[in-house]
């Protein structure tokens, strides 16, 4: 329909922005992997704050024990007036045991419990105006930097979890591999995922238009991201940068020439955060909701 003059439809964007800044929004992330792969450090690096664990005493961090018991910690973080209620779910010690049979069950149970909690609130006759959202929007899976193929444990975990949550695989502690080893390892992982028909985020089936497909194709070429986490700053050429200090120099976490952490951060926060939430609600939660209502 051709307009004769300015109507002001675009003002709805300002209204949505103001409302979001007042109410804030929720984002829930889960990290999975063996002990010692830097899961907690990576989450701290992503949000540039100590969000992965709570201190038992001021200035002293609580040591995360080796256990498969899930731990969820919620923080409210604010940047330029925008508030985000962030929940980090850690799965310390996943895959550490000698017998890892069905070790993914507690994780799947936790994810489904959050869907169930949301469903129960949603089907109430008198329900809240804003249902608390504890559903896991993204699961970052840390692959050990072996340089070989994916382990059967990794394949089975991602095969099961990719059906109920958005899984983003990353190569942990990528600075232990040379650039050639890293490129070869990434190619092998991509072949493994394709061979076993494991659909990790961003899934090809959910690309809505050619522009989205082109962007997501570039991301899929880079997955799994080879990342390095560090929550300490160092002085480099007169600037303070996040990095890991070695006797050969400083590995700059936010330098694309050193690692692919910036790609992971952009995917999870800057470009696809809302898409992660939309797919969780419209695809994974919807599948759970249909299944549960059919059962009852």
Q: Is 221 helix (H, G, I), strand (E, B) or coil?
A: helix
Is 74 in contact with 68 (CB distance < 8 Å)?
no
Question: Six-digit token pair at 82?
Answer: 């925008």
Global pTM value: 0.88
Among 111-125, 182-196, 240-254, the minimum mean pLDDT is found in 240-254
Burial class (CB in 10 A: 0-12, 13-18, 19+), 64: middle
Q: What is the pLDDT of residue 63?
A: 53
**DSSP letter, residue 270:** I
Taking the domains of the chain in order of start, what are their residue ranges? 23-44+68-295
Percentage of the chain lying above the pLDDT 70 cut: 92
Q: What is the pLDDT of residue 286?
A: 96
Residue 120: name the closest of 139, 135, 104 by CA.
135
Tell me the pLDDT tens digit for each residue of 18-58.
Answer: 888 888 889 999 999 888 888 888 888 888 777 766 543 44
Q: What is the pLDDT of residue 236?
A: 81
| Whether residue 65 has pLDDT greater than 60 | no
Rounded Cα distance between 252 and 246, Å, is 11
Tell me the pLDDT tens digit for each residue of 222-256.
Answer: 999 999 888 778 888 888 888 888 888 888 888 88
Residue 278 phi/psi, 5° resolution? -65, -45
**H/E run at residue 158:** helix 152-161
**List of long-range contacts for 52-56, beta carbons under 8 Å, 24+ apart:** 52/88, 52/90, 53/90
The percent of the chain in helix, strand and coil, each rounded to the nearest 5, is 40, 20, 40
| Whether residue 165 has pLDDT greater than 90 | yes
Among 20-34, 90-104, 116-130, 150-164, the minimum mean pLDDT is found in 90-104
Residue 153: name the closest of 219, 230, 99 by CA.
99
Q: How many CA atoms lie within 13 A of 72 on its CB side?
A: 15
Rounded Cα distance between 69 and 172, Å, is 21
- What Rg do the C-alpha atoms of the chain give, in angstroms? 21
Q: Is 77 helix (H, G, I), strand (E, B) or coil?
A: strand
Angle (CA) 260-266-272 rounded to 5° is 135
Query: Has domain 23-44+68-295 been given CATH number 3.40.50.300?
Result: yes
Rounded Cα distance between 232 and 255, Å, is 15
Angle (CA) 211-216-217 rounded to 5° is 100
């Amino acid at each position: 329909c051709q307009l004769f003059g300015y109507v002001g439809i675009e003002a709805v964007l300002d209204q949505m922005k103001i409302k979001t800044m007042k109410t804030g929004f929720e984002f829930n992330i889960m990290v999975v992997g063996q002990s010692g792969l830097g899961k907690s450090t990576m989450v701290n690096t992503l949000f540039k704050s100590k969000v992965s664990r709570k201190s038992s005493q001021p200035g002293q961090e609580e040591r995360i024990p080796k256990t498969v018991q899930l731990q969820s910690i919620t923080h409210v973080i604010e940047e330029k007036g925008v508030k985000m209620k962030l929940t980090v779910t850690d799965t310390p010690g996943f895959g550490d045991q000698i017998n890892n049979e069905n070790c993914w069950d507690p994780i799947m149970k936790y994810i489904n419990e959050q869907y169930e909690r949301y469903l129960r609130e949603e089907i109430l006759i008198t329900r809240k105006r804003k249902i608390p959202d504890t559903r896991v929007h993204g699961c970052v899976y840390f692959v050990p930097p072996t340089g070989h193929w994916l382990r059967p444990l990794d394949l089975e975990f991602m095969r099961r979890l990719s059906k109920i949550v958005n899984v983003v695989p990353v190569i942990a502690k990528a600075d232990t591999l040379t650039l050639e080893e890293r490129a070869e390892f990434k190619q092998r992982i991509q072949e493994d995922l394709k061979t076993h028909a494991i659909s990790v985020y961003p899934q090809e089936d959910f690309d809505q238009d050619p522009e989205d497909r082109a962007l997501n194709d570039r991301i899929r070429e880079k997955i799994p991201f080879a990342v390095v986490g560090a929550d300490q700053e160092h002085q480099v050429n007169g600037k303070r940068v996040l990095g890991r200090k070695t006797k050969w120099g400083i590995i700059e976490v936010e330098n694309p020439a050193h690692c692919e952490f910036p790609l992971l951060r952009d995917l999870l926060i800057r470009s696809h955060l809302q898409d992660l939430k939309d797919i969780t609600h419209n695809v994974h939660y919807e599948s759970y909701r249909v299944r549960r209502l059919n059962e009852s």
